[in-house]
Amino acid sequence: MSKLNLKSALIATTFLAIGPALVAGCAMTGTASAQTAEPAAQTFSLPAPDTIGWEYGLPTYASQVTDGGAGGEIVRVTSLESEGPGTLRAALENEGPTIIVFEVAGAIDLGGNNLRISGSDITIAGQTAPSPGITLVRGGFVVSGHDIIVQHLRVRPGDLNEEERSGRDIDALSTTGGAYNVVVDHCSMSWATDENLSSSSSRFDGDTPEEWHESASNHVLFSHNIIAEGLSHATHAKGEHSKGSLIHDHVNNIVLYSNLYTSNYERSPLFKGDVHGAIVNNFIYNPGQRAVHYNLQGLEWAGHQPELGEMDLVSNVMRYGPSTQSGLPMVMIGGIGDLSLYNDGNIAVDRWGNDAPMFGSYETGPAEILSVEMPHMDLSGLSIIPTEYVEDYVLAYAGARPWDRDVNDVRVTADAAEGRGDIIDSQDEVGGYPEFEATTRAFDPANWDLTTMSPLNEEALSSELSARGT
């Protein structure tokens, strides 16, 4: 079998087209809601096994967000140093549309500092690196620009071996207020001391909700990522801080699609007040005390009238693990602001496959979940996977370089598949920072579609790691 074929090549079933979204027509489990619409049935299938590279490519929906640096200058990364000529940091300073490719592979030690993308029209194509790919350690990645695509990077900040509550809080990858048209696809984020993957805002920049939305991160796609093992009692000043994704107040037009959330205590993900977004086909495994939750906090909104949040929750799976609190609902609400929720095709189960609660509240405040019958967002560019196949699909194809996974991605996907894993306090509990022998390989543009950065042949991909799959 080709190294490109990681799992079953074809999944076929029936799905329903409801409104603008494609929603799984599988049987509901537990308290999941079933819609009564009667649209025409269609055939769902994954691409054929000889379709080169399909398992790590961008979803069609990404083209509605941005084409990144397509058509721009090709800039080669040739050094694993944190800064200087030939580094990733230097490549990010290139002016004009840019496609960043890699002629070197290994770990880039950021030494406690972050990389920042403040420009525009940039594609970072981690898939072009030789094996074992690119892993950023001891720092994070911040996106503050627009029209950005980031693919196939691993970001593992860790605790830098500092004392507990030292005050260092690092997101593995985040978009800041004002970033827009951003795609983060097939990346692996773990061991952050703040959130593993977030989208932020400045909360109240402007006088109206429309201005708040414009100044927040907007038009964002997080797809096919592994979001794992946020560090719990590490260096964050607040203490416990194992968090998956914080989607900050007013962030809008954000889609979280086919990600693996595993062994994060909370925020898998958290939508804050007035967020408008969709959570589709994610596998949430071993959450601690919260999985999906919404919270418009009264203290943070003092002097402002609460705005209605919007969430489309479609065909996701939550499964308890060893660290999950008994009776945890899939969706929880707190605070003082209501959430308009489209809920369809979601499954929540405990470690033994028994139904788990779908909804709950963790405060006594007035916030309510308001059910709606149609999705808020147009998700027509997403191939929505029937819920019964979500676990297998996500475990096979999420994360950086699924054809060439490193030991940590193999470990967390295997743990999710087998019902193992724990919420951890330090990367040292699971082997410590990765050590790779640096490798090099020239980038050959003839092997790549330079518009989509998809391979044109198998020779384009490098795969030398011995541990693959789940």
What is the tens place of the pLDDT at every residue in 450-465?
Answer: 999 999 988 898 877 5
pLDDT confidence tier of residue 417, bands split at 50, 70 and 90: very high
For the cut 50, the answer to whether the pLDDT of residue 20 exceeds it is no
Q: What token pair was written down for 189?
A: 């984020």
What is the tens place of the pLDDT at every residue in 290-330?
Answer: 999 999 999 999 999 999 999 999 999 999 999 999 999 99
Contact by Cβ (8 Å): 198, 174: yes
User: Which range, of 101-110, 163-172, 204-213, 304-313, averages the lowest pLDDT?
Assistant: 163-172
What is the tens place of the pLDDT at every residue in 319-352?
Answer: 999 999 999 999 999 999 999 999 999 999 999 9
For the cut 60, the answer to whether the pLDDT of residue 34 exceeds it is no
Q: What token pair was written down for 303?
A: 């002097």
15, 169, 280, 337 from 11: Cα distances, Å? 12, 41, 18, 40
CATH hierarchy code of domain 68-458: 2.160.20.10
Q: What is the pLDDT of residue 59?
A: 85
Q: What token pair was written down for 399?
A: 């994360």
Tell me how far apart the alpha carbons of residues 188 and 396 are, in angstroms, rounded to a whole number: 13
H/E stretch holding 335 reads: strand 331-335
Contact by Cβ (8 Å): 102, 152: no
Tell me how far apart the alpha carbons of residues 49 and 341 are, in angstroms, rounded to a whole number: 37
Tell me how far apart the alpha carbons of residues 310 and 277 are, in angstroms, rounded to a whole number: 6
162, 390, 469 from 154: Cα distances, Å? 22, 22, 16
For the cut 90, the answer to whether the pLDDT of residue 38 exceeds it is no
Q: What is the pLDDT of residue 160?
A: 77
